[in-house]
Amino acid sequence: MNQDRIDVLRAVPLAAFQHVINGRRVCASDGGAMSVISPVDGTVLTTMARGTREDTDAAIAAARQAFDSGIWSDVAPAVRKKILLNWADLIEANALELAVLGVRENGTEIGMALKAEPLSAAATIRYYAEAVDKLFGEVAPTDPAFLGLVHREPAGVVGAIVPWNFPLMIGAWKFGPALAAGCTMVLKPAETASLGLVRLAELALEAGMPAGVFNVVTGEGAVVGARIAESMDVDVLVFTGSGSTGRRLLEAAARSNLKRVYLELGGKSPNIVFADAPDLDEAARVSAHGIFRNSGQVCIAGSRLLVERRIHEEFVEKLAFHAASIKVGNPLDTATQSGAVNSERQLRQNLQFVEEARGQGRKVIGGQRILEETGGFYMSPAIVADAAREDRVFQEEVFGPVLAVTAFDTEAEAVALANDSKYGLAAAIWTSNLSRAHRMVRKIRAGLVHVNTYGGSDLTIPLGGVKQSGNGHDKSLHAFDKYLDLKTAWIKL
């Protein structure tokens, strides 16, 4: 990365951002504009359209018309593939611009943002574009007097509501397979991370995507998101975010057309370190980065560290050393390893968890607001070294750089602590014992279990949760299951 180029892009003034509906940039009908506050320095970055019910209905109508017309759903898969690959090329060509735009809006450190946002989105679109002309129907092995055919057809209009931590990456996990499958889409970004997705929609049009296929409506979840959820013309709803919002989306789907709803609702992921871990220092380093990069604002973050008691003190010391070595600062500086917290509200919530732990007499390392003079929202990594299983910091998702560390004595106790959560998104095990690793993978209730690593899984494997972490899967070929319907043809010969 070129710091001089980044400095030029960060200084570019931004015009007001509009919706992208039916192939056009559209101002809010009567909702006015919302200020975009940069977490880097607390200043107003630009404004974006405050979407209304009418704006959302217009986007849904455009997606419905585009789907029903067959302009996207009925073309040969190779046609969709070509346009999607063009789109991926444009995203990659504009990757640094997109990354800097996103960092200015949501605070992710530029080194992570470039790789995890535009470059990841481009790779995801390519993955599903390449796969779409390799999906086949089935011929049933039945009575030879009949022919049983199973067709895979696009499900229709997809509504997608995506979060602010990695909007391009998580957005692409949803619109990549949906659009490749032939669906059309209305996407609602988070209020504090919309600009990059608006820009992606503009690039989609430049790549040749027909009007109405991919629409983006910015605004408040209680208005735009709620309208998508209650619409009778949305066939599938996909969401990444909080459990409370997920419940409201399910209720809205039940009250409307019983649309299918797929939810990824975060986690409180256990990261379990046994005394026989292959390399304790490496485990401590990776564990620190597994919770403190991007200011802890990662769905699968290893926010509960379970450490075998006989190495607990030593491991916490190693962990604290690696946490202290993480450079927290301006996310547009290439030397920064952990950037800004997304918003002042999120920062206050993070600090509240830390102060509560201190008030309970827990040993807390770090966890202060820092760099206040910048006007931005920054926090040093926080380690609660002796969290108990009944503590709120052990049970609740903070979504910030706050790590709860708890000691255990036996493998059975580690399993019990790991599963003592309403969530089940991710987990990790550090051990040299292969048999133990396999036992733990089976016993831990989580959709993704790492062994002797944390994070970094690629597109070839699915990501999804159990329990209150949600249902359905992003990533891998399994993601197509959400966006394709099975249709049986039973033919008498």
**191 pLDDT above the threshold of 90:** yes
Q: What is the pLDDT of residue 456?
A: 87
What's the rounded Cα separation, in Å, for the pair 217 and 197? 10
Percent of the chain with pLDDT over 90: 98
Confidence tier at 235 by pLDDT (50, 70, 90): very high
**445 pLDDT above the threshold of 90:** yes
Q: What is the pLDDT of residue 28?
A: 74
What's the rounded Cα separation, in Å, for the pair 267 and 298? 9
Q: What is the pLDDT of residue 145?
A: 98
Do 78 and 55 meet the contact criterion of CB atoms below 8 Å apart?
Answer: no
pTM value > 0.85: yes
Q: What is the pLDDT of residue 187?
A: 98
Domains, the chain? 3-265+470-492 (3.40.605.10), 270-458 (3.40.309.10)
Percent of the chain with pLDDT over 70: 100
Q: Which strands sit side by side in the sheet containing 304-308, from one edge to the other? A: 364-366, 382-384, 402-408, 304-308, 270-273, 426-430, 448-451
- Pairing of β 378-379 and β 402-408: unpaired
Q: Rg (Cα) of the chain, in Å, rounded? A: 23
Q: What is the pLDDT of residue 274?
A: 98
pLDDT digits (tens, 9 = 90+) for 243-259: 999 999 999 999 999 99
Q: What is the pLDDT of residue 30?
A: 80
**27 pLDDT above the threshold of 90:** no
pLDDT digits (tens, 9 = 90+) for 279-288: 999 999 999 9
**31 pLDDT above the threshold of 90:** no
**Residues 6 or more apart whose Cβ sits within 8 Å of residue 457:** 448, 450, 463, 475
Confidence tier at 471 by pLDDT (50, 70, 90): very high
**Helix 77-93 vs helix 120-131: crossing angle, to nearest 10:** 170
pLDDT digits (tens, 9 = 90+) for 265-280: 989 999 999 999 999 9
Tell me if residue 264 is catalytic. yes
Q: Average model confidence (pLDDT) for the chain?
A: 97
pLDDT digits (tens, 9 = 90+) for 301-313: 999 999 999 999 9
The active-site residue, picked from 230, 264, 308, 397, is 264
Residue 153 CA neighbour count, 13 Å, CB half: 15
- Tokens describing residue 217: 């409506």
Q: What is the pLDDT of residue 262?
A: 98
**Residues 6 or more apart whose Cβ sits within 8 Å of residue 414:** 272, 274, 306, 308, 408, 440
Do 45 and 39 meet the contact criterion of CB atoms below 8 Å apart?
Answer: no
Q: What is the pLDDT of residue 415?
A: 98
**Helix 95-106 vs helix 195-206: crossing angle, to nearest 10:** 160
Confidence tier at 179 by pLDDT (50, 70, 90): very high
What's the rounded Cα separation, in Å, for the pair 199 and 178? 19
pLDDT digits (tens, 9 = 90+) for 108-139: 999 999 999 999 999 999 999 999 999 999 99
**180 pLDDT above the threshold of 80:** yes
Q: What is the pLDDT of residue 1?
A: 74
